Chains A and B, each alone.
Chain A
């Protein structure tokens, strides 16, 4: 039963924790990008490209966590069945 509780906590809390840190990092990147566009508007194209790139790279870390969430979510049912049978 502790196993089921731990697994439910992991499946439920893993993704939001990753999202919190990723959102902080993406917010910092966006703030710096907007300040530098305000300082130098003729470089806006380059800065926009670098911003999109950084946001997607940080996003991909959250996607890795989403992947593990999807893998674990399918296992919740069999785990609960297995514990219910004992």
Chain B
């Protein structure tokens, strides 16, 4: 459990007194490094808020527009409330996943200690948004359609919610841990080939390319499933038909005028 991967940030462990070394995990140190990096980038991007953006502000605005359009398409018209949490989750997990490719750092999401709290945050946030949107009638989501099946349905729905959070965390953890294991095994294979033939063999190159593709995809899957869970918790079914009718009535008038 306490075998350490050995990263550049382990240097900071020496600043702490010796009894504290068992309590500070290098995954946490790398997560803090990612947080500091994102904070510095955000500060640099929003120092001068120009109306016509330039440089880093353009990148942040493109990112915010992408997340907001996706959330509005997925959750509905009132989605601006959920954009900060979802955008943070997406960018944070994306940078976490790709952080291990930098030599001297590792991916914090390759241990369950990082992914399970993220999934718990999404679980608690979904319940909070459900209660904020529906009030106490949110509990009716758990009971199902028929009233005499309600006790069974409550148990099944609660287990379903926990299973959703569990699957989010295990999917992210499994992908990242599997990638890291594959990279380390292929690198060991390349080292074995080098020790026999004295020709350097980067056997883990293909796995690194695969990690470059799978990291962002898994971050996007996490983000998209969180948006889908928020959508199922906060949708109003009785407003669906009215929304379609007003849209179809207003469009010809706008086109004629």
Contacts and interface: CB of A to CB of B under 8 A. Distances in A.
Interface in A32-86: 52-53, 56-57, 59-60, 63-64, 66-67, 70
A64 B163 CA distance: 13
A68 to B, nearest CB: 10
Contact of A56 (B173, B178, B217): B217
Decide if the interface of chain B is mainly helix, strand, loop or mixed. helix
A60 B174 contact: yes
Contact of B175 (A52, A60, A70): A60
B24 interface: no
B175 A63 contact: yes
Interface residues of A, number: 11
B218 interface: yes
Contacts of B173: 67
B181 interface: yes
Nearest to A55: B217
Nearest to B173: A67
B75 to A, nearest CB: 16
Given A53-B224, A70-B181, A64 B218 contact: no
A46 to B, nearest CB: 10
Contact of B178 (A52, A53, A57, A63): A63
B58 interface: no
Interface in B199-224: 217-218, 220-221, 224
Contacts of B181: 70
Contacts of A66: 174, 178
Q: In which size bucket is the chain B interface?
A: 10 to 19
B170 interface: yes
A67 B224 contact: no
Contacts of A64: 170-171, 174
B174 A57 contact: no
Nearest to A56: B221
B167 interface: yes
Interface string B173-193: 111011001000000000000
Interface in B134-176: 167, 170-171, 173-175
Interface in B209-257: 217-218, 220-221, 224
Given A63-B171, A64-B170, A64-B171, 18 more contacts: A52-B217, A53-B224, A56-B217, A56-B218, A56-B221, A59-B175, A60-B171, A60-B174, A63-B170, A63-B174, A63-B178, A64-B174, A66-B174, A67-B173, A67-B177, A70-B177, A70-B178, A70-B181
5 contacts: A52-B220, A56-B221, A60-B167, A63-B174, A67-B174
